[in-house]
């Protein structure tokens, strides 16, 4: 094996997400709306990749397909070496539970559970013993800086604190990939910067891959690569400062196009 | 998974209480209705249940303890001749009129027992003793019939069938299925009150040798007396009970009322479960998005339904005990055997689990994608 071949293989092994020619259409017949039109994407281990673009550009749909929540109509998507099209719904759910961590735009914390209980949910679903799950969840709450809120209820937290809980929940089962959907959309600008700094800090040191769907261009500098989507296509990709995109409009809730 | 299910269940206390009320309502209804029903119908076999006999022998078509057909007393020797039989005595159940102080008459069911064995004699005697019927002209009646018999008292002398009868004791809670009061006395005196011919009786009550098999003994009696029927006591009690159940439609009436209440309770439970799930559809979507399996979602629902049933049953049975304590009387006894409570629990549990199916179908349709789109 030559040195070139070895480095190519290593690079391929480092690819945690690979999408080729992804197509997705919602609706049928005259109501059919194409959302993704031949998306190609490659994310390496440890990279922080942003999927950005205007509303309706297909960012969340792409994230859903990568997360195994939605299936593509055409094309191939491999996550952590698994071709998602060949996995049964049960297997995709298991992949999500064991190897992916989700952060949702509106946090989606469980109202009936305490902060600690919310962080423990993935471990509970994995069947991790209660004491072990509790210990691990407390570690994560300490990592996100709100251990004192362990017994609080979600409704007693601020938006920033809710997002920290969501991060802790996403990270608690040591996933290989974190998928975050507009993690700063419900936060003000300062909080947005802070939670992204926290997310990068928590993932970078363990070499986790992060895929973030966002509008917020003021957090672009946390990304390694930005994919700019428009009308279901990647119109540009590269380093944050090298990707051409419309100028952001600042609002009191963050950034909009 | 259990703690997750329970914690989320306890969060919505308002709906939880509503669902619990549904379960409690069903448990109370089934047990109280069932208890009243049992208390009522078990009167139909009261004489048989308390007879202390192993076998009842009567007419070939005997079907109800209170309505016997006469049988010849001479059969007795053939029964006594069987090796399994330790003792067999004639027993009489017949109708007569008791004269009332007002000048009227009240129909009574006279029960005549053998003075030697006292098999089938009165029980639960509060004033006097059961053996007091051996005294001259002695009868024992029930306290609950005092009003019907126009204030009859201990020691009072009345006429039954035109003959002298003296009250030597009073029992408590021996009220038959029929409206007529029971009057316990000795066999010969009962025959006189009811004007029964000396060579006829209603039944033979049989005590078996300790290791004898009642079914085999019954078969032997039937073999010796082809015109007689012999049944183990428990079987004749059931036969007497079935007579009223099947010929009056009583079981259907009580059953329908109980079922209706059960349905109301269960509709409350299933509606509340459904409403609770509807309220938390987003949370189930989150579980699915995180990677919960269908089986785990089902487990959450089943644990919640089972928990509600357990707590609801515990509270319901507490309420039932209070009702039983406060309202059960000898005239309207509420009899709640363990199997009725256990049966109601199993029934309510089954319905609760079935009612979890509806919300499950709703959850199945929840697309985890909605979590990412909201």
ipTM attached to this prediction: 0.83
B70 at the A interface (CB within 8 A)?
Answer: no
The yes-or-no verdict on residue A256 having pLDDT over 50 is no
Work out the average pLDDT over A99-127.
89
The yes-or-no verdict on residue A250 having pLDDT over 50 is no
Contact B369 A94 (CB under 8 A): no
A104 at the B interface (CB within 8 A)?
Answer: yes
Mean pLDDT value across chain A: 84
Better pLDDT: B352 or B136 = B136
Better pLDDT: B135 or A217 = B135
The yes-or-no verdict on residue B12 having pLDDT over 80 is no
Work out the average pLDDT over A244-248.
57
Tokens of A45: 């281990």
Instruction: Kindly report the backbone phi and psi dihedral angles of residue A17, in degrees, each rounded to the nearest multiple of 5, phi listed first.
Output: -130, 125
At B272-287, the pLDDT tens digits run: 777 777 777 888 888 8
CA atoms within 13 A on the CB side of A242: 9
Whose CA is closest to A180, among A136, A222, A117, A143? A222
Lowest mean pLDDT among A43-47, B192-196, B369-373: B369-373
Alpha-carbon distances, residue A138 vs B111, B220, B286, B287 (angstroms): 78, 78, 21, 20
Q: Which residues fall within 8 angstroms of residue A22, CB to CB, at 6 or more apart?
A: A36, A38, A39, A40, A41, A62, A65, A72, A74, A75, A76, A77
E strands, chain A, in order:
15-26, 33-44, 48-52, 74-79, 82-83, 100-103, 177-181, 209-214, 225-230, 233-238, 249-251, 254-256
Specify the residue for token string 């709100």: A146
What confidence category does residue A188 fall into, taking pLDDT thresholds of 50, 70 and 90? confident
Contact B372 A105 (CB under 8 A): yes
- Spatial distance between the Cα atoms of A226 and A51, rounded to a whole number of angstroms: 6
The residue in chain A having the minimum alpha-carbon distance to the alpha carbon of residue B12 is A112
Which positions in chain B touch A113 (Cβ < 8 Å)?
A: 4, 7-8, 11
Better pLDDT: B270 or B64 = B64
Torsion sign, CA atoms A138, A140, A141, A142: positive
- Spatial distance between the Cα atoms of B108 and B128, rounded to a whole number of angstroms: 21
Please say whether the beta carbons of B272 and B18 come within 8 A. Answer: yes
Work out the average pLDDT over A153-179.
90
- Spatial distance between the Cα atoms of A174 and A163, rounded to a whole number of angstroms: 18
Mean pLDDT value across chain B: 88
How many whole angstroms from its chain centre is CA B255? Answer: 13
Lowest mean pLDDT among A70-74, A115-119, A191-195, B157-161: A191-195
Contact A112 B12 (CB under 8 A): yes
Better pLDDT: B224 or B263 = B224
At B244-253, the pLDDT tens digits run: 888 777 778 7
Lowest mean pLDDT among A185-189, A249-253, B5-9: A249-253
The total of other beta-carbon atoms located within 10 Å of residue B188's CB is 15
E strands, chain B, in order:
55-59, 71-72, 85-99, 105-113, 125-127, 138-142, 157-160, 163-171, 182-186, 200-201, 203-208, 228-232
What confidence category does residue B42 fall into, taking pLDDT thresholds of 50, 70 and 90? confident
3-state secondary structure B160-187: ECCEEEEEEEEECCCCCCCCCCEEEEEH
Q: Give the orientation angle of helix B294-327 with respect to helix B250-279, to 10 degrees.
A: 140
First to last CA, chain A: 50
CB-closest option in A94, A95, A111 to B11: A111
Q: What angle do CA B103, B104, B110 make, to 5 degrees?
A: 120
At A43-90, the pLDDT tens digits run: 998 899 999 988 888 998 999 999 998 889 999 999 998 899 899 989
pTM comes to 0.71
Q: Which of A124, A151, A176 to mutate to test the interface with B (most CBs of B within 10 A)?
A: A124
Whose CA is closest to B12, among B266, B272, B264? B272
| pLDDT at residue number B326 | 92
The yes-or-no verdict on residue B268 having pLDDT over 80 is no
Which positions in chain A touch B307 (Cβ < 8 Å)?
A: none
- Spatial distance between the Cα atoms of B296 and B284, rounded to a whole number of angstroms: 11
Specify the residue for token string 């006894």: B333
A181 at the B interface (CB within 8 A)?
Answer: yes
A115 at the B interface (CB within 8 A)?
Answer: no
Strand partners, B228: B59
Work out the average pLDDT over B295-299.
87
Please say whether the beta carbons of B371 and B280 come within 8 A. Answer: no
Tokens of B260: 């209706």
B281 at the A interface (CB within 8 A)?
Answer: no
Whose CA is closest to A181, among B297, B368, B280, B292? B368
Which positions in chain A touch B285 (Cβ < 8 Å)?
A: 108
The residue in chain A having the minimum alpha-carbon distance to the alpha carbon of residue B373 is A60
The residue in chain A having the minimum alpha-carbon distance to the alpha carbon of residue B290 is A97
The residue in chain A having the minimum alpha-carbon distance to the alpha carbon of residue B369 is A69
Please say whether the beta carbons of B112 and B187 come within 8 A. Answer: yes
CB-closest option in A90, A102, A112 to B7: A112
Lowest mean pLDDT among A216-225, B106-115, B154-163: A216-225
Q: Is A239 helix (H, G, I), strand (E, B) or coil?
A: coil
CB-closest option in B8, B291, B296 to A96: B291
| pLDDT at residue number A252 | 42
Work out the average pLDDT over B234-256.
84
Instruction: Kindly report the backbone phi and psi dihedral angles of residue A191, in degrees, each rounded to the nearest multiple of 5, phi listed first.
Output: -65, -35
Task: Report CA dihedral (A157, A163, A169, A174) to the nearest 10 degrees.
Answer: -150
Whose CA is closest to B23, among B240, B313, B276? B313
- Spatial distance between the Cα atoms of A224 and B173, rounded to a whole number of angstroms: 89
Whose CA is closest to B71, among B91, B44, B54? B91
CB-closest option in A94, A104, A111 to B291: A94
Distance from the Cα of B271 to chain A's closest Cα (Å) equals 20
Which positions in chain B touch A102 (Cβ < 8 Å)?
A: 289-290
Alpha-carbon distances, residue A200 vs A60, A107, A214, A225, B186 (angstroms): 20, 18, 15, 13, 99
CB-closest option in B11, B282, B293 to A112: B11
Q: Which of A79, A99, A108 to mutate to test the interface with B (most CBs of B within 10 A)?
A: A108
Strand partners, A238: A226
Distance from the Cα of A96 to chain B's closest Cα (Å) equals 5
Distance from the Cα of B43 to chain A's closest Cα (Å) equals 52
The pairs formed by B59-65 with CB atoms below 8 angstroms and a separation of 24 or more are B59/B227, B59/B228, B59/B229, B60/B227, B60/B228, B60/B229, B61/B229, B62/B203, B62/B229, B62/B231, B62/B236, B62/B239, B63/B239, B63/B240, B63/B243, B64/B239, B64/B240, B64/B243, B64/B244, B65/B93, B65/B236, B65/B240
The pairs formed by B128-131 with CB atoms below 8 angstroms and a separation of 24 or more are B128/B154, B128/B168, B128/B169, B128/B170, B129/B169, B130/B169
What confidence category does residue A210 fall into, taking pLDDT thresholds of 50, 70 and 90? very high
């Amino acid at each position: 094996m030559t040195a070139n071949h070895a480095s190519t293989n290593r690079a391929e092994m480092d690819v945690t997400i690979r999408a080729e020619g992804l197509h997705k259409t919602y609706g049928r017949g005259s109501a059919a709306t194409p959302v993704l039109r031949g998306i190609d994407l490659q994310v390496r281990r440890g990279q922080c990749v942003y999927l950005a673009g205007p509303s309706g550009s297909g960012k969340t749909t792409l994230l859903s397909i990568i997360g195994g929540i939605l299936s593509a109509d055409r094309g191939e998507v491999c996550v952590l070496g698994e071709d998602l099209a060949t996995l049964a719904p049960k297997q995709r759910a298991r992949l999500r539970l064991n190897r992916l961590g989700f952060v949702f735009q509106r946090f989606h914390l469980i109202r009936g559970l305490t902060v600690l209980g919310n962080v423990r949910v993935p471990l509970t679903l994995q069947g991790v013993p209660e004491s072990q799950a509790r210990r691990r969840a407390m570690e994560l709450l300490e990592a996100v800086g709100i251990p004192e809120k362990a017994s609080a209820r979600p409704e007693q937290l601020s938006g920033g604190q809710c997002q920290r809980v969501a991060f802790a929940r996403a990270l608690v089962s040591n996933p290989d990939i974190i998928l975050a959907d507009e993690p700063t959309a419900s936060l003000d600008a300062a909080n947005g910067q802070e939670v992204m700094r926290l997310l990068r800090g928590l993932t970078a040191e363990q070499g986790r891959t992060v895929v973030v769907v966002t509008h917020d261009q003021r957090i672009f500098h946390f990304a390694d690569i930005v994919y700019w989507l428009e009308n279901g296509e990647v119109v540009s990709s590269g380093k944050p400062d090298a990707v051409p995109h419309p100028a952001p409009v600042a609002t009191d809730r963050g950034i909009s196009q | 998974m259990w703690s997750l299910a329970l914690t989320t269940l306890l969060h919505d206390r308002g709906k939880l209480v509503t669902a619990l009320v549904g379960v409690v309502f069903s448990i109370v209804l089934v047990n109280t209705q069932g208890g009243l029903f049992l208390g009522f119908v078990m009167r139909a076999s009261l004489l048989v249940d308390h007879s202390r006999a192993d076998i009842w022998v009567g007419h070939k078509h005997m079907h109800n303890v209170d309505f016997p057909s006469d049988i010849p007393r001479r059969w007795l020797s053939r029964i006594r001749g069987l090796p399994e039989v330790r003792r067999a005595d004639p027993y009489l159940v017949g109708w007569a009129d008791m004269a009332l102080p007002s000048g009227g008459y009240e129909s009574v069911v006279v029960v005549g027992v053998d003075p030697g064995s006292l098999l089938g004699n009165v029980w639960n005697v509060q004033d006097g003793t059961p053996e007091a019927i051996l005294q001259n002209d002695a009868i024992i009646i029930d306290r609950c019939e005092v009003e019907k018999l126009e204030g009859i008292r201990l020691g009072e002398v009345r006429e039954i069938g035109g003959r002298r009868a003296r009250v030597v004791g009073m029992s408590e809670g021996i009220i038959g299925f029929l409206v007529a009061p029971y009057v316990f006395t000795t066999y010969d005196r009962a025959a006189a009150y009811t004007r029964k011919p000396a060579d006829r009786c209603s039944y033979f009550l049989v005590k078996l040798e300790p290791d004898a098999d009642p079914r085999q003994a019954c078969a032997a009696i039937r073999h010796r007396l082809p015109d007689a029927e012999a049944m183990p006591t428990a079987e004749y009690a059931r036969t007497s009970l079935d007579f009223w159940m099947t010929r009056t439609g009583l079981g259907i009436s009580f059953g329908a009322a109980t079922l209706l209440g059960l349905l109301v309770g269960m509709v409350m439970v299933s509606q509340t479960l459904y409403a609770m799930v509807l309220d938390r559809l987003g949370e189930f979507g989150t579980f699915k998005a995180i990677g919960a399996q269908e089986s785990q979602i089902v487990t959450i629902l089943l644990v919640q339904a089972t928990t509600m049933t357990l707590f609801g049953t515990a509270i319901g049975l507490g309420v039932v005990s209070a009702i039983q304590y406060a309202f059960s009387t000898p005239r309207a006894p509420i009899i709640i055997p363990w199997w009725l409570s256990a049966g109601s629990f199993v029934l309510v549990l089954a319905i609760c689990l079935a009612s979890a199916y509806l919300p499950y179908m709703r959850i199945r349709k929840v697309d985890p994608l909605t979590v990412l789109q909201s």
